[in-house]
Amino acid sequence: MLQGQIIKASGGFFTVLGESGAEYVCIARGLLKKERELLMVGDYVLFEPSATNGKGIIEKLLPRINLLKRPHVSNVDQLAVIMSLKDPSCDWHLVSRILVMAEKEGTQAFLCLNKTDLAAKDELEEMTAQLDNYPYRVFYTSAVNAAGLDQLKDSLQKKCTVFAGPSGVGKSSLLNAIQPGLSLKTGTVSEKIKRGRHTTRQVELLSLSSGGLVVDTPGFSRVDISDLEGAELADYFPEFEPLREKCGFRNCRHISEPRCAVKEEIGSSLNSMRYEHYQHFIKELDKQGVY
């Protein structure tokens, strides 16, 4: 048997990239076939290749390093949250939801704000001010005029990166600009609903000439956090960590408790918008009885 990685999954067929660089269209055998939803892009597997036609049978799923549920992909090094400055405008609550789930899985993440060519200078300055003390790397990019593409491309080298975000923000356009030979299908934003139309229909692992791998994913506008343990939510806001031991109460929720070191730093060393999202998520989990 050979070892390989699933780079595409569709209709019960899995395209597996072997260690030699050859691709095989495989099906899953036995229990794996019955539970094929367990197999996903990014999975490392053992498979038996056909000797003649480039097909094969997946025999075993190998242990995963990590697993993201939205988008559904495994064994990634980092997650890039792709948002656009305009058309559609950035959904900051969705950004924080994605980042929380990345932290939960122990996956590094960064933010990419795309379509800077549509934003005026004062809008960019306002955005920069809004992101003061933001705890993640932020790239400002444009697939139209190539702004920020060199820095983004450098961050993808020798890593497996998931591009995640809503439809219409330019995920496929960015990948086409980074590596034109990909020729990924791109779409436009609806003038009526101000949201993008789905152009990427499935999760796919793509090889970059720079040596990295990128997972292109269909757009989504919601991330469910109801499976989180509310008592651990603060663990998924890494900017809180240096301050938590200074709180007056050991199990401080950073909401209404006195002598809370986290609250004292809001607007100073901590980003105000991020704390607002934390408050919102706590209330959401409280209503569901998760806390």
Answer whether residue 193 shows pLDDT above 50: no
How many whole angstroms separate alpha carbon 232 and alpha carbon 61? 30
Residue 223: predicted pLDDT: 87
Q: What is the pLDDT of residue 37?
A: 57
Distance CA 171, CA 275 (A): 27
What are the residue ranges of helices labelled H in the chain?
A: 30-34, 92-104, 121-130, 149-156, 171-178, 241-244, 261-264, 272-287
Which of 187, 215, 225 has the alpha carbon at shortest distance from 84? 187
Query: What whole-number distance in Å separates Cα of residue 234 and Cα of residue 231?
Result: 7
The pLDDT confidence band at residue 268, using thresholds 50, 70 and 90, is: very high
**pLDDT tens column, 37-78:** 589 999 999 999 988 888 999 999 999 999 888 778 999 999
Tokens representing 220? 């989504």
Q: Which residue has the higher pLDDT, 194 or 118?
A: 118
Q: In Å, how far from its chain's centre is CA 216?
A: 10
Q: Which CATH architecture has domain 2-61?
A: Beta Barrel (2.40)
User: Averaged over 201-216, what is the pLDDT?
Assistant: 86
> Does the pLDDT at position 244 exceed 50?
yes
Indicate whether 194 pLDDT > 80.
no
pLDDT for res 237: 97
Examine the pLDDT at 196 and tell me if it is beyond 50: no
Fold classified for 67-216: Rossmann fold (3.40.50)
Rounded to 10 degrees, what is the CA torsion of 214, 216, 217, 218? 170
For the segment 269-281, the average pLDDT, to the nearest whole number, is 96
**How far is it, in rounded angstroms, from Cα 265 to Cα 182?**
45
Would the pLDDT of 29 be above 70?
yes
Contacts of 119 by beta carbon, 8 Å cutoff, 6+ apart: 85, 86, 127
Q: Which CATH superfamily is domain 230-287 in?
A: Probable gtpase engc; domain 3 (1.10.40.50)
Q: Is 70 exceeded by the pLDDT of residue 219?
A: yes
Q: Is 142 helix (H, G, I), strand (E, B) or coil?
A: coil
| Positive or negative: CA dihedral 141, 145, 146, 147 | negative
CA-to-CA distance for 181 and 39, rounded, in angstroms? 28
Indicate whether 236 pLDDT > 70.
Answer: yes
> What pLDDT is stored for residue 34 in this prediction?
62
Contact call for residues 195 and 88 (beta carbons, < 8 A): yes
Amino acid in the structure at residue 184: L
At 147, which helix (H) or strand (E)?
A: none
Q: Cβ-count burial of 12 within 10 angstroms (0-12 exposed, 13-18 middle, 19+ buried)?
A: exposed
Please determine, for residue 35, whether its predicted confidence score (pLDDT) is greater than 80.
Answer: no
Residue 174 to residue 168: CA distance in whole angstroms: 11
Residue 241's pLDDT band (boundaries 50, 70, 90)? very high
pLDDT at 192 over 50: no
Give residue 224's pLDDT: 86
* Domain parsing of the chain, residue ranges: 2-61, 67-216, 230-287
